Chain A
Amino acid sequence: MTTANSSFSPIIPRLQMAWDSTSMGTFKECPRKYYYSIVAGWQPRDMSVHLTFGLHYHAALERYHRLKAKGMDHAQALRATVKQALIDTWDAARQRPWSSDHKYKNRLTLIRTVVWYLNQFGPNDSIRTVIFADGSPAVELSFRFQTNVLGPDAQPYLICGHLDRLGELGGMIYGNDNKTTSWSLTPEFFEKYSPDNQMSTYSFAGKIVYHEPMRGMIVDAAQVLVTFSRFERGFAPRSEAQLDEWYEDWTYWVKMAEHFAIRSVNKQGDPAGAWPMNDKSCSHFGGCPFLSICSKDPAVREMWLKANFVHRTWDPLQIRGDI
């Protein structure tokens, strides 16, 4: 399985070489959770609605920004964005809409959230999208770069991912990331992004890849409920020293992951056992989806995984998943 994943070493089994914020964030939460979800690629059957919703939402906003950058006015760009979002959420093979029984995240709330967000931030956005020298807007930026940390085979580890947008506000450059949630958008909601692995990864990437003196991230959060969506904008600033600190920590974490991957070579009968559980994280982040697995006897975990989870390859060099 890992050989089919381009983000993993072709030589050392289960050693991830290209790290996005989702992979590292999961590893920091719990090495065992990281093994199950990223290395082994297990995903709960009922979890994909959040990913699907997020991907459509990000795609719609990207499309709007691109159309605006091409000179289309707000109303035209909004209609084109909505039409494409409707098409993207149409199952052509079955001739029916994307079906979601999630009460907050479905086709209707998606379109509503796109329209309402762009009503609020589209025509009068205080953030101005950065336009690169070739005229292209700085939206949906995929990045990857080598670090100075080498793996056991002397190949450098990579940091990779996707940044929603680079924007200018008050003469300063920020990354701009969109989030969807059902939680209230209180100051506490935004406080969780400083420190935060994902926002630090993006800020670091902006500095390295785009040669822009980024001041950090601006988080555009959408609270999506059954009957309404609303939005708040929060800041996740990063100083140069904070980013240096984050990267130094990152080198420590990636070497720890390397240690577990090498350890798993000697645990062929139970590779999961090479990645320790962080049993203080089980109830965090809304509850770990693998709690029902880790609570079982090791001998039957694989059977339970096969029964209740589905496989997907998490390859951050190929897909967008860090929504």
Chain B
Amino acid sequence: MTTTPTSPLGEVDERSLEAIFASNPGDLTDEEVGRVVEYFEAKRQQFLTSPEAKTKGPGKAKKVEADVNLKLEDLGL
């Protein structure tokens, strides 16, 4: 049986997300909006399976954030 590899980030990579975010949203197609939603849903699934998702330590969140290994900020947005 063969399986088709799928991106953990759905149908949109971070580069195309950046382009969507930078374009006039009035011109976005339903498909493009759907890709934004799918991107963030995939990111959520990725987060929920990370150890950090279970962390709720007291105090300012900075400590928690330092342990998270997601790189959304790489988008430069």
Q: Looking at the complex, which one of A90, A111, A223, A226 makes contact with B24 (CB distance below 8 Å)? A: A90
In angstroms, Cα B30 to Cα A227, docked, is: 26
Q: Tell me if A's interface is mostly helix, strand, loop or mixed.
A: mixed
B12-51 CB contacts (< 8 Å) to partner A: 21-22, 24-26, 28, 30, 33-34, 36-37, 40-41, 43-44, 47
Report B-chain residues with C-beta under 8 Å of the C-beta of A108.
21, 72, 75, 77
The interface bits of chain B over 47-64 (1 if a CB of A lies within 8 angstroms of the residue's CB, else 0) are 100001100111111001
Contact yes or no, A78 B37, CB < 8 A: yes
Contact yes or no, B70 A115, CB < 8 A: no
Contact yes or no, A183 B40, CB < 8 A: no
- Interface residue ranges, B against A (CB under 8 Å): 21-22, 24-26, 28, 30, 33-34, 36-37, 40-41, 43-44, 47, 52-53, 56-61, 64-65, 68, 70-73, 75, 77
Measured CB to CB, the closest approach of chain A to B13, in angstroms, equals 15
Contact yes or no, A83 B72, CB < 8 A: no
Report A-chain residues with C-beta under 8 Å of the C-beta of B70.
227-228
Q: Looking at the complex, which one of B22, B36, B58 makes contact with A111 (CB distance below 8 Å)? A: B36
Q: Nearest CB to that of A103 among chain B residues? A: B73
In angstroms, Cα B70 to Cα A186, docked, is: 23
In angstroms, Cα B47 to Cα A223, docked, is: 14
Given contacts A108-B75, A230-B53, contact A225 B65 (CB under 8 A): yes
